[in-house]
């Protein structure tokens, strides 16, 4: 079993920055790709970013490309999402997820409970 706990959310003004963290426990996650997703009120959950187990490969949604950066520290069992130039439309609950494979794929087996990000205009 894997537990994922997100932190770092909060209220920020448009144009500001936040860094989200996702700490994994229960077993090593260094062989799994990781992803970040978000869900805004009244909308479906959407993909934000993903990173391979080595950190050598990343993938971003077009809406965040150039503004968000995903990274990981396998020694700390933690994945990060640095969010810059935030916009009101980035407001959502952000979730991290553990991919089933070492490379980025569409299969995620474990999810955190989410952290709220609110961007004020």
Which pLDDT value is given to residue 28?
63
φ and ψ of 18, to 5 deg: -145, 150
pLDDT tier, 77 (very low <50, low <70, confident <90, very high otherwise): very high
Which pLDDT value is given to residue 1?
83
Instruction: Quote the strand ranges of 30-121, DSSP E.
Output: 34-39, 46-51, 58-60, 68-73, 78-83, 92-99, 108-111, 115-120
Q: How far apart are CA 42 and CA 21, in angstroms?
A: 25
For the stretch 18-69, pLDDT in tens is 999 999 988 766 689 999 999 999 999 999 999 999 999 999 999 999 999 9
Residue with the bigger pLDDT between 106 and 36: it is 36
For the stretch 10-22, pLDDT in tens is 999 999 999 999 9
**What is the distance between the terminal CA atoms of the chain, rounded to a whole angstrom?**
40
Q: Which of 118, 120, 90 is nearest to 10 (CA)?
A: 118
Neighbouring C-alpha atoms within 13 Å toward the C-beta of 82: 7
């Amino acid at each position: 079993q894997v537990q994922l706990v997100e932190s770092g959310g909060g209220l920020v003004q448009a144009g500001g920055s936040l860094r989200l963290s996702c700490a994994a426990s229960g077993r090593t996650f260094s062989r799994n790709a990781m992803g970040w997703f978000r869900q805004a009120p009244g909308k479906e959950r959407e993909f934000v970013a993903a990173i391979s187990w080595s950190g050598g490969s990343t993938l971003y949604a077009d809406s965040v490309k150039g503004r968000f950066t995903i990274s990981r520290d396998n020694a700390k069992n933690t994945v990060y999402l640095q969010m810059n130039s935030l916009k009101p439309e980035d407001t959502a609950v952000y979730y991290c997820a553990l991919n089933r494979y070492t490379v980025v794929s569409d299969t995620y087996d474990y999810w955190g409970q989410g952290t709220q990000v609110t961007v004020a205009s």
